[in-house]
Amino acid sequence: MGARLSTSEGKSLAEILIVTAILGIVAAMAAPAYQHFHARLEVQTADAEIASTLRMARHLAMARRERLLLRFDISGRMISVRRADAGSVLNVYSYADKHVEVDEPTGGTDLYFHPSGRSASASTIVIYDREHRRTTVTVSLTGRVVIS
């Protein structure tokens, strides 16, 4: 009985190659699904970050009790938050590495938030991913930011 416990069976080279081939096939089949998942996650992150930048500007305008300007630089692929009167930049969000395209907002490239939190104009921002699926971020006159 002691001799039986001490013996071990090894795997043949053919068995190891078959298992490796099966794992390679499964990995090759899973790669496109993973890439699609990663691309969708990247777009959702960019959408949320753009909406968050808009919300942050609104809350900052209320906290600082001053009018703030969000300027969309479509060619530079960034959004800057500035003091409306002094023009000094308070924050910059760049979406250049997010693989999304942002159309010019319907209200123009400049969006203002008043100290009350209200927006000077309603605006809709359309965001496209690599596969041309669109997401919209809407800013209402009350300053509410909604992703749809």
First-to-last alpha carbon distance for the chain, in angstroms, is 70
> Residue 58 CB: number of other CB atoms within 10 A?
24
Q: Print the domain residue range for 26.
A: 12-147
Q: Return the structure tokens found at 1.
A: 């009985």
Q: What pLDDT score was predicted for residue 5?
A: 54
Q: What pLDDT score was predicted for residue 31?
A: 86
> Is residue 7 one of the residues assigned to a domain?
no
> Residue 65 CB: number of other CB atoms within 10 A?
9
> Is residue 81 one of the residues assigned to a domain?
yes
Examine the pLDDT at 7 and tell me if it is beyond 70. Answer: no
> Is residue 101 one of the residues assigned to a domain?
yes
Number of domains, the chain: 1
The CATH number of the domain holding residue 105 is 3.55.40.10
Alpha carbon 1 to its chain centroid, in Å, reads 63
Q: What pLDDT score was predicted for residue 3?
A: 52
CA–CA distance, 67 with 88 (Å, rounded to integer) = 12
Section 60-68 average pLDDT: 93
